[in-house]
A and B are shown apart, each in its own frame.
Chain A
Amino acid sequence: MNDATREVFGNIAPWMQVVFFGIMALSIGWPVWQVWTRARLWRKGQRDGFERSWRVRIQRLIIYALAQKRVHRKSLGALLHLLLFSGFVVLTIGTTLLAIAHDGPYDFHHGWYYLIYELTMDVFGVAFIIGCLLAMYRRAFHRKPSLGHNKSDWWLLGLLLSLGVTGFAVEALRMHYTHVQPWLAHWSTVGWLIDTTLLRGLDIGTARTLHLAAWWLHAILVAAFFATIPVSRFLHVITGPANIAGRPERPMGALIPLTIEEVERTGRTGVNTIFNFTRQQLLSLDACMECGRCEDACPATASNKPLSPKAVVIDLRGLMSRGGGDVHTAIRDETLWACTMCQACVEECPVLIGHVDLISDMRRDLIGEGKLSGPPTKALQQISNQSNPYGRPNSERLVWAEGLDVLTVDVNPGFEYLLWVGCAASFDPRAQKVARATAQLFKEAKVNFAVLGAKESCTGDPARRIGDEFLYQQLAQANVETLTRHKAKKIVTPCPHCYNTLKNEYPQFGGQYEVQHHSQLLAQLIGAGRLSNGTSTGEPVTLHDPCYLARVNREVDATRTVIGAATDAQFREMPRHGKKTFCCGAGGGRMWFDESPAQRVSCLRAQEALATGARTLATACPFCLNMMTDGMAGTQGGEKTKVLDIAELLLSRQNAK
């Protein structure tokens, strides 16, 4: 058994081996040089100053690069990628091991190791070929529009396929002319099958010649493959893992603060020319292989707005390749304003590209350069002057609570929970009912809570996401001061945007609180038996997960717990739910932009909700509530569907008793 092995370079004359190693050196040297040239472009970017831990990097590489967490799903694309990826990785490692065994000090290429090696290489070689064929089939017959495609992709796939096929041809021919013993041959299954079927009766001389030809063809194809890596989609095999490891670790919902000193030093806010992006951001542009998943998930793309996250990445990459320049020559302003910052693209991207950060950085520049006009400017001015985007005097902040005896922090300084109402639930007549329901439920559960009343102002979320970082910072600092003054420790809010900003962004300004969304506290109260369960049944209910709760802050259970407690009616999920929820259209400051009815994301979402057969659409965000109410009203068959906040749903259960 221990003599089980095979010849290496057996049919290759020494001079040919020299030529072979020369070609290999060139074919590896060229892509290394090319990638180095790209890396010089990335290095023109800014340092982001984030500390990166090796533990996190390695963890991420294991999860996202090796285990390909973001690639997996029930789709042909995912399957074929798994086959290609595993084939590629195993064959590359195998070939490297062979080189080490052959040229290294200790030859371990024999015995059981050899047998398992041969079998493994054959299995993954087959996987690789099937992957290629499936990829070709998919590109030929089932190509989704978002998948990047050009004619050269056929050459690339052809190259991979011929690599696999010639590999097996070399194996079979070698086995043929070396007369491998059957017990040994079985381990090289594919080679043995070819040898015993196609090559039967072939004379040894011809086999040797054919082997030499196939071997050289295979070698040249390998060289060609290496050479195409830096100039094709294959680049992602290098840049993908590099970006996965290099992306700074921070909450999805926290944008990066800008300092006024930075603005004074550089004379700009945000990103104006491509090299104002960070090095990691520039690298991320090269990590994209145009799989199109971001585009498939994008609400702006789905509602025919001039934005595709994939196109943003590709256009910026093109600009970088041309040597740089003004980003606004590559990306139109309307494109940047179309983003709802719902993070669906970021959640999808297999190589962890941060599309929303790219867009946010460019929006900041548009704001700095005075390139925003129309309704959103009014919202920003009102946030600046009245501390809320609705333009209402702050003295009216408690109008929603009329007759409810809700105490302010001044009257009840010993509060346990601070109810952060948020501007929408304070001023929007529809959302005020959510604030009322929330307060009533808290009272019922005997929660010791208080509100800031006139001392509350906008968290700054819309300002920050539209791109006015300094207006946001003014509000954040003022709010942190107010919260500190009133010794707020636990904050609960019915608005996922306030929740996200208070929880993930205020720590940047020294505000550390235990922040809960009202769904979380309500679920907790239900669990503790402080709120009873409803037993009424009725028409089926579905839930629209707010992006900034479910995706950005990973809370998908609390809302469902509240609905379960509110009613025994059947609960039906929409196809896009939980972390994969689909935006209502209001995020990223889009709430304050004009939108033509034909481009309303909420109508698409309303159709999706109606298709479940549910007659009640629950949500947990005042903006989603507003948008989905409009969406239902504007959708055939949606007029009779009730759109309710989970707190309203829970409250109605108890009133019905």
Chain B
Amino acid sequence: MKIVVPFKSVADPNDATVAGAAASAPKSLINPFDEIAIEEALRIRERGDAAEIVGVTIGAPAVDEQIRAALAMGVDRAIRIDDSRALDPYAVARILRALIEKETPHVVIMGKQAVDDDSNQVGQMLAALLHWPQATFVSKIEFLENKRRARCTRETDGGLEVVAIELPAIITTDLRLNEPRYVSLPGLMRARRKPIEILTCDELRVAVRPLTTVLSIASPPKRAAGTRVDSVEELIAKLKQEAKVL
């Protein structure tokens, strides 16, 4: 079985403020949900259900650092689609469709959303474009019937939903699927020997233009400092009069 894992390089959420004004140049990371997707692919391979894991990302050469991290985690080979434009989810989904048609994997595992824009659309759009089944927000994956189908447990608002999907399919990962492994410098060094293939949209024969444009980004208002109360009575009084919640 072959698994393709698309991943996105995002600014470290610890580092950057929402408005993008970090104190120093923000560090980049693999989107944490995508990291979970990579980890899941590795675990599937480790239990003998997959032969090859291909990591895919879109971006300028700067994202090679995150590609190396993915390779160090254990991805077999990586493809970077060289494109430094700010792409909207539909554009990303179309580029990925072209690549997936070329790579013909049995399953695509990716994060349910990226922590920078929180769009949560690419997986769904990709499934639609490919006419593949999808299981989103997945916290458990099992393969059935000699890997012809997958049984996925989805984390929904109401609880856990278990779905069976025909392969090939798109699976997007929830936080609780696994805890990704740690990559250290020696791991990164060893990953230098693994190949990174560079492709362009032209080579994939996709022309993309954004359908959505970001107009503005604003930080949430700063929380006002709390006050310390001396007694339960005072607390109740304040809750009634000031907060008006009682």
Contact = CB atoms under 8 A, between A and B. Distances in A.
B72 to A, nearest CB: 7
A269 B186 contact: yes
B186 A368 contact: yes
A391 B29 CA distance: 14
A66 B97 CA distance: 76
A377 B14 contact: no
A363 to B, nearest CB: 11
Contacts of A392: 14
Contacts of B189: 260, 263-264
A346 B58 CA distance: 51
Contacts of B190: 267
A372 B39 CA distance: 12
Interface stretch (A122-130, A378-386, A482-490, A616-624): A378-386
A372 B23 contact: no
Interface in B173-187: 178-187
Contacts of B74: 370
A144 to B, nearest CB: 38
A393 B185 contact: no
A392 B15 CA distance: 7
Given A370-B74, A393-B23, A385 B184 contact: no
Contacts of A371: 181
A385 B27 contact: yes
A261 B199 CA distance: 34
B179 A368 contact: no
A372 B72 CA distance: 13
A373 B184 contact: no
A371 B43 CA distance: 12
A377 B186 contact: no
A395 B23 CA distance: 7
A220 interface: no
A531 B22 CA distance: 42
A311 to B, nearest CB: 26
Contacts of B24: 394-395
How many residues of A sit at the interface, in one of the four size bands?
20 to 34
Contacts of A394: 23-24
Interface residues of B, number: 24
A377 B180 CA distance: 8
A505 interface: no
Contact of B186 (A373, A454, A470): A470
A392 B23 CA distance: 11
B190 to A, nearest CB: 8
B12 interface: yes
B170 interface: no
A395 B22 CA distance: 10
B73 interface: yes
A563 B15 CA distance: 40
Interface string A355-380: 00000000000011111111011001
A380 B181 CA distance: 11
Given A263-B189, A370-B72, A393-B23, A269 B179 contact: no
A323 B27 CA distance: 46
A471 B183 CA distance: 11
A468 interface: yes
Best-buried of A369, A370, A386, A474 by chain B (most CB within 10 Å): A370
B15 A385 contact: yes
Contact of A373 (B27, B29, B181): B181
A470 B184 CA distance: 8
Contact of B14 (A367, A393, A471, A474): A393
Given A395-B23, A471-B185, A373 B15 contact: no
A464 to B, nearest CB: 12
Contacts of A264: 189
A177 to B, nearest CB: 75
Nearest to A366: B182
A454 B190 CA distance: 33
Best-buried of B23, B181, B190 by chain A (most CB within 10 Å): B181
A367 B74 CA distance: 14
A376 B182 CA distance: 9
Contacts of A374: 179
A2 B111 CA distance: 96
Contact of A393 (B15, B178, B183, B187): B15
A373 B40 CA distance: 13
In order of increasing CB-CB distance, the 10 nearest A-B pairs are A470-B185, A377-B182, A395-B23, A373-B179, A370-B181, A391-B14, A372-B182, A385-B27, A374-B179, A269-B186
10 contacts: A367-B184, A370-B183, A372-B182, A385-B14, A386-B15, A393-B23, A394-B23, A395-B24, A468-B184, A471-B185
